[in-house]
Amino acid sequence: MRPTVAPLLSFAECRRGFWRLLPLSLFVAAFGAAFGLAAVQAGLQPVDIVFMSATVFAGTAQFAALDLWGAQVPLLPLLVTTLAINARMLLMGATLYPWLALVPSGRRYASLVTLSDANWAMALNDLQSGRNTLGALVGGGIALWLTWLAGTLAGMLFGGFIADPRAFGVDMVLGCFMLSMALAGRRNARSVAAWIAGGAAAWAAWVWLPANTHVVAGGLAGGLVGALWLEREQ
């Protein structure tokens, strides 16, 4: 059934979402530190590094951009790569549309500025569970953005202390969080099929395709299954 009441988007709800996602955000800061260090080693200027993290706010795409960085930056491959990696954002926004459509356009678009995997998953879980609020999307997004930016700054200054977050198992945190959101969210044939398709496609791409393509493959496969397997309106 399509929602008919606009979700709450108050300061109190955003503050609650901020604190709910802050623990996960601290692990995101470790990857921000790794990016800050990698960007310095790639020859970017500090102001450019901070500006990139503040405006792009897309870890995988930013690391991919560094791989293409050099004296002569290949603009078209850079654009295609970052667009492909972030294509999943289209599907993530589409899943939130039934609720966002009820929100005034100014708030609607502003609430998507800090859209990322973690706050999208928590917000969608809230909405599907009957908690009609966008607090996790906005407040949680702000928490993720601030810690990503703080991590980038720390990496620029003290990056040698945490050059590889994976050595501490930090790379598993977001994956475990997303799995917990999937298990806690709506469970029906459609959602299970979408998660299985996305997981299988991501695994296959990770094994056989170039780096970072598993993000695109998983997002597109899961999103397409969810879009084509239409739920019966109640």
Give me the percent of the chain exceeding a pLDDT of 90: 28
Residues 42 and 142 occupy one common structural domain: yes
Instruction: Decide: helix, strand or coil at residue 68.
Output: coil
Residues 198 and 124 occupy one common structural domain: no
Give me the percent of the chain exceeding a pLDDT of 70: 79
**Percentage helix, strand, coil, to 5, in the chain?**
75, 0, 25
Residue 98 domain boundaries: 11-186
The first and second tokens of residue 48, run together, are: 């450019």
Residue 2 in domain: no
Mean pLDDT over the full length of the chain? 81
Q: Of 37-46, 58-67, 155-164, 171-180, where does the model show the most confidence?
A: 37-46
Residues 193 and 124 occupy one common structural domain: no
Is pLDDT above 60 for 23?
yes
Residues 200 and 147 occupy one common structural domain: no
* pLDDT per position as a tens digit, 46-83: 999 999 999 999 888 888 888 777 667 677 877 877 88
The answer to pTM > 0.85 is: no
Quote the pLDDT of residue 49: 94
Residue 139 in domain: yes
* pLDDT per position as a tens digit, 101-147: 999 999 999 999 999 988 998 998 899 888 899 999 999 999 999 99
How many helices, marked H, and strands, marked E, lie in the chain? 11, 0
Quote the pLDDT of residue 104: 92
Residues 30 and 60 occupy one common structural domain: yes
Count of the separate structural domains present in the chain: 2
Residues 204 and 159 occupy one common structural domain: no
Nearest-angstrom CA–CA distance, 43 and 223: 37
**Element at 224 (helix H, strand E):** helix 213-228
Quote the pLDDT of residue 232: 44
Nearest-angstrom CA–CA distance, 168 and 15: 29
Residue 217 in domain: yes
Is pLDDT above 90 for 170?
no
